[in-house]
A = this chain, B = another copy of it.
Amino acid sequence: MPRYDIVTIEGDGIGPEVAQAAIRVLREAVGENVLHFIDAPGGAAHYARSGDVLPDETLRLCRESHAILHGAAGLPEITYPDGTEVGNELHLQLRFKLDLYANVRPIKLLAGVGSPLAARETIDIDYVIIRENTEGLYASRGAGVVLRNEFATDTLVVSRKGVERVARFAFNLSRKRDGAPRDGKRRVTVCDKANILRSYAFFRAVCQEVAGDYPDVEIDYAYADAITVHMLKKPDFYDVIVAENMFGDIISDLGAATVGGLGIAPSGEVGDTHGLFQGAHGSAPDIAGQNAASPLAMILSGALMLDWLADKHADEALAGAADRIRQAVATSLSEGHAIPRDLGGSASCTEVTDAVCRALG
């Protein structure tokens, strides 16, 4: 009997292709009877058919399952009456409704992948960005005010509870993770603009209080502008970075770009109860159905899901499987046979998936 129910929302564009690829790899890595995948509808195309971007039944399945695997959502032509894209809603609603407060974005340069940073041969990039995922500027989503077409305002909201829990998440992660910066220290870097806004000063102050419970982890501070420079010039200084929602959104894409791009960047969004995993990329409708997308971000997000399940359910076997998947991706990349197009190769989605499965076998 499978032990874990995984809801799969394949979504739009390349979503189904990459989700299927991840499922193949996950099955290969953990064996047949461990994960039970349940397909559930959602996304822009589903909205066009049904008027619902996130059906109640899908939300219910998400609440009742052990984890959620999501391909991607969004189609440029499917918009709300006000012109905004429908696809993002699936994702944003799941974040808020399931209280997925920590967005986990590992930034790791794998052997065989070209970083756009020049000194890539010698730079060891291996850190994690934790983006607060339920408040900050995103709290104002849908609530901004536009007055007489002359002014618009939105509100940045930072709460003690919100910062405390995400800061604890970051410190706990620093404690348990293997990767460490070049000086060997465990370190949480707080990314803010405490010099400019009280909300960010508050964010920093709460992180500083939480740090008191983690004397073994160094706390470090960087302004959101300055950190972009450091991420290019001294990426090997970082261990875990924690940031407000909007800053986290920006720097986690930047981090991905330094290690090969969104097509290889995994993402996990987790709370105390639920976890959603998907590649950091979008639905790329322009290349959908052509077997051209890279499944790597999604496959690595599957590994992140196993890590999270392993931790939550004290299941060592899953942790081993997650490591084997990452190892298999690294092996297939460094062998150079199955390099996806976004990394400069010509392998199809299926060929990349085959190669990872072979490396696993």
Contact = CB atoms under 8 A, between A and B. Distances in A.
A244 to B, nearest CB: 11
Interface centre among A114, A150, A195 (most CB of B within 10 A): A195
A200 B137 CA distance: 11
Contacts of A142: 198
Number of copies: 2
A15 to B, nearest CB: 18
A253 to B, nearest CB: 4
Nearest to A248: B225
Contacts of A262: 229
Nearest to A159: B151
A287 interface: no
Contacts of A118: 114-118, 120
Residue of A142, A153, A256 with highest tally of chain B CB at under 10 A: A153
A42 interface: no
Contacts of A252: 225
Given A152-B158, A250-B224, A261-B229, A198 B145 contact: yes
A94 interface: no
A31 interface: no
A228 B228 CA distance: 9
Contacts of A161: 150
A330 interface: no
Contacts of A152: 157-159, 198-199, 201-203
B201 A84 contact: yes
Given A154-B197, A195-B88, A196-B138, A202 B146 contact: yes
Nearest to A115: B118
Contacts of A256: 229
Nearest to A92: B196
Contacts of A201: 84, 152
A165 to B, nearest CB: 14
Interface string A195-236: 111111111000000000000000000001110110011000
A78 interface: no
A76 to B, nearest CB: 11
A144 B226 CA distance: 22
Contacts of A194: 84
A160 B154 contact: no
A122 interface: no
Closest 3 CB pairs between A and B?
A144-B198, A152-B202, A228-B254
Given A84-B194, A137-B156, A153-B199, 8 more contacts: A115-B118, A116-B119, A116-B232, A118-B120, A152-B157, A228-B228, A232-B254, A233-B261
